[in-house]
């Protein structure tokens, strides 16, 4: 009997090995190398494979990791997660999806607004999709097909071909994109978690590591893919789609442009996808660059954005949360009178009112001295502000940074007009001066010299962006969020879904400060 069982196991091992190599030989040259064409909850039987072949393969997940990453010299942290995290989310496919047609093999020049971002800085976004009521695990392929998403990605990467390239350098050592068509990282995973894990979702490093691909911090720059995507099938049948866009390649505006294209292609509507404008030379520095301006600026994507503290500081425990504001509460903030009695409150925008409120509560929660200077740092789009305006579908980093500065006593008095003034100064001259400043500056020094202090807060706005329009044909997501905020003292604004005209504020602060912040956040007096 024992001999029969051993022979049966050997036979199973041989069968699965043959199936595996058949998958290798039959893979399309334009598609990614993929052992699993079906969602992991109902696809290739991992447990029999692992038990039958464990003497040969030792570990199925390790073998897949090695097979699918041989070209990248193990730049991905697939086997570096903690054992607890691996139990929560198990990777079953890791591959590269290349464009399904030939694309221009060119070197794409990056602007100064691209280069000021760290090359390993990614924008991690998660989408949660819930199947229609009555669907069960057995219907998961019908609900969210790996094959459909993978094919759509291969098609989308044709017009958006820079996302399939890798970083390179020109003859002067300037970073650029080598549009070599190597492809975007595509991961399929499954998890024992359910959608209820997201009922009180908070952006965090843990959630980012679970649901969004992560690169090894020691990876060489030329190995970093501009786009990484992960589909995680939850045990309840829901799906988490996690994407990481390299911020040195594209900004949030371009991120969501790509998502609109990807979802339309998945639904068979590729003809209505607006093509991206790839050329970035419209925002070259002037020649020669004009003398450095005296603009007050903060370089977005600085080293502090990843670390949050200097090496001499001891980082306290930090937490994040998402706080919601209803349309009624926003209107209340917009109608508030500033401490500056001459301010016209009717001119206050939603962004100005909400940001002024966050700034005020932040100063109160941090317990800052009233005579201390505080800075509100935020990015602002330049597409329509530069002259001539950039094409509507300009694909790259089309943002600059600006700063509103005031004493804490002024901030506590509620000063949306100070934010409006900071926005108002961002015109063509301001933008051109910023680009020229970066041309003559050491960009590494710029990234590393600007650090946020305890009195500074950074606000990123996704307001007005089509975050919740990402429908692949299975319904719109019930949750869209950054997977993590990035560092302490950062807040991200995003519109709530559906008919709700409110706003969600994701923010990360020290534990003690967060409690004070939450207690004061809904006090509109």
Residue 305 has pLDDT above 70, yes or no: no
Q: Could you give the CA distance from residue 395 to residue 283 in angstroms, rounded to a whole number?
A: 12
**Chain mean position to CA 60:** 29
d(CA 79, CA 73): 13
pLDDT band of 42, cuts 50, 70, 90: very low
Residue 86 burial (CB < 10 Å; 0-12/13-18/19+)?
A: middle
> Is pLDDT above 80 for 82?
no
- H or E stretch covering 13: helix 2-26
State residue 439 phi and psi, 5-degree precision.
Answer: -65, -40
What the chain holds in terms of domains, given with CATH numbers, is 2-276 (3.30.559.10), 297-521 (3.30.559.10)
For residue 42, list its beta bridge partners.
none
Q: Which residue has the higher pLDDT, 180 or 15?
A: 180
Least reliable range by pLDDT among 400-404, 497-501, 518-522: 497-501
From 26-40, 101-115, 156-170, 267-281, the region with the lowest mean pLDDT: 26-40
Q: Residue 107 has what pLDDT?
A: 98
Band of residue 285 on the pLDDT scale cut at 50, 70, 90:
very high
Name the pLDDT band for 7 (thresholds 50, 70, 90): low
90 secondary structure, DSSP code: E
Flag whether pLDDT at 26 surpasses 80: no
pLDDT of 162-210, one tens digit each? 999 999 999 999 999 999 999 999 999 999 999 999 999 999 999 999 9
Mean pLDDT across the chain: 82
| CA dist., res. 43 & res. 137, Å (int) | 12
Give the confidence band of 315 by pLDDT, cuts at 50, 70, 90. low
Three-state DSSP class for 423?
A: helix
- The percent of residues above 70 in pLDDT, for the chain, comes to 74
Contacts of 491 (CB under 8 A, 6+ apart): 358, 457, 458, 459, 460, 485, 505, 506, 507
Q: What is the DSSP letter of 201?
A: -
What pLDDT shows up at residue 216? 82
Residue 346 φ/ψ, nearest 5 degrees: -65, -20
Using the 8-state DSSP alphabet, how is residue 346 labeled?
A: G
Residue 140 predicted with pLDDT over 70: no
| Residue 71 predicted with pLDDT over 50 | no
**Residue written as tokens 């108002």?**
424
Instruction: Decide: helix, strand or coil at residue 68.
Output: helix
For residue 326, what pLDDT is reported?
A: 96
Q: Which residues are catalytic?
A: 247, 471
Confidence (pLDDT) at 168: 97
What number of helices (H) and strands (E) belong to the chain? 17, 15
446 or 41, greater pLDDT: 446
Residue whose C-alpha is closest to residue 516's, from 320, 308, 322, 367? 367
What is the pLDDT averaged over residues 343-371? 91
Residue 503: which of 463, 460, 467, 468 has the closest Cα? 463
Tell me which DSSP letter residue 314 carries: P
DSSP string, 127-189: EEE-PPTT--GGGHHHHS-HHHHHHHHHHHTTTTGGGGSEEEE-TTS-EEEE-----EEEEEE
Residues 319-333, mean pLDDT to the nearest whole number:
96
**Alpha helices for 267-376 (secondary structure H):** 303-307, 327-335, 350-366
Residues 6+ apart with CB under 8 A from 35: 20, 23, 44, 64, 93
Structure tokens that stand for 67 in this block: 């097979």
Element at 373 (helix H, strand E): strand 373-381
pLDDT in tens, 449-470: 567 899 999 999 999 999 999 9
| 3: three-class secondary structure by DSSP | helix
Confirm if 475 and 241 have CB atoms less than 8 A apart.
no
């Amino acid at each position: 009997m024992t001999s029969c069982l051993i022979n049966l196991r050997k036979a199973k091992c041989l069968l699965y090995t043959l199936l595996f190599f058949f998958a290798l030989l039959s893979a399309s040259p334009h598609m990614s190398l993929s052992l699993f064409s079906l969602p992991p909850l109902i696809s290739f039987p991992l447990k029999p494979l692992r038990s039958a072949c464990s003497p040969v393969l030792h570990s199925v997940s390790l073998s897949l990791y090695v097979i699918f990453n041989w070209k990248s010299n193990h730049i991905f942290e697939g086997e570096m997660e903690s054992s607890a995290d691996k139990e929560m989310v198990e990777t079953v496919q890791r591959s590269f999806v290349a464009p399904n047609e030939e694309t221009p093999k060119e070197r794409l020049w990056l602007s100064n607004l691209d280069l000021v971002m760290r090359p390993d800085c990614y924008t991690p976004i998660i989408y949660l999709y819930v199947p229609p009521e009555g669907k069960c695990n057995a219907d998961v392929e019908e609900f969210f097909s790996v094959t459909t998403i993978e094919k759509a990605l291969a098609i989308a990467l044709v017009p958006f071909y820079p996302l399939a390239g890798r970083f390179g350098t020109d003859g002067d050592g300037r970073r650029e994109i080598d549009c070599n068509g190597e492809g975007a990282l595509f991961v399929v995973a499954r998890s024992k978690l359910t959608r209820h894990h997201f009922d009180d979702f908070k952006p965090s490093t843990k959630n980012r590591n679970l649901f969004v691909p992560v690169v090894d911090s020691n990876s060489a720059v030329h190995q970093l893919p501009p786009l990484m995507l992960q589909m995680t099938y939850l045990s309840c049948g829901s799906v988490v789609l996690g994407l990481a866009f390299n911020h040195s390649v594209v900004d949030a505006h371009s991120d969501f442009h790509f998502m609109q294209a990807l979802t339309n292609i998945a639904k068979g509507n590729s003809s209505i996808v607006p093509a991206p404008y790839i050329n970035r030379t419209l925002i070259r520095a002037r020649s020669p660059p004009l003398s450095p301006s005296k603009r007050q600026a903060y370089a977005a994507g600085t080293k502090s954005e990843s670390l949050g503290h200097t090496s001499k500081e001891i980082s306290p425990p930090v937490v994040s949360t998402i706080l919601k504001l209803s349309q009624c509460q926003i209107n209340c903030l917009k109608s508030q009178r500033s401490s500056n009695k001459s301010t016209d409150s009717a001119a206050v925008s939603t962004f100005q009112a909400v940001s002024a409120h966050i700034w005020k509560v932040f100063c109160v929660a941090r317990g800052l001295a009233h005579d201390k200077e505080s800075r509100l740092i935020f990015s602002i789009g330049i597409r329509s502000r530069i002259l001539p305006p950039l094409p509507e579908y300009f694909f790259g980093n089309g943002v600059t940074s600006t700063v509103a500065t005031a004493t804490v006593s002024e901030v506590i008095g509620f000063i949306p007009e100070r934010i409006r003034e900071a926005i108002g100064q961002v015109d063509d001259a301001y933008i051109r001066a910023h680009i020229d400043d970066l041309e003559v500056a050491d960009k590494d020094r710029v990234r590393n010299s600007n650090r946020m202090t305890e009195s500074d807060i950074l606000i990123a706005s996704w307001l007005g962006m089509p975050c919740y329009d990402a429908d692949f044909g299975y319904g719109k997501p019930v949750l869209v969020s950054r997977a993590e905020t990035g560092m302490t003292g950062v807040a991200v604004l995003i519109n709530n879904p559906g008919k709700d005209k409110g706003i969600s504020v994701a923010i990360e602060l020290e534990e003690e400060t967060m409690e004070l912040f939450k207690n004061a956040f809904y006090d509109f007096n």
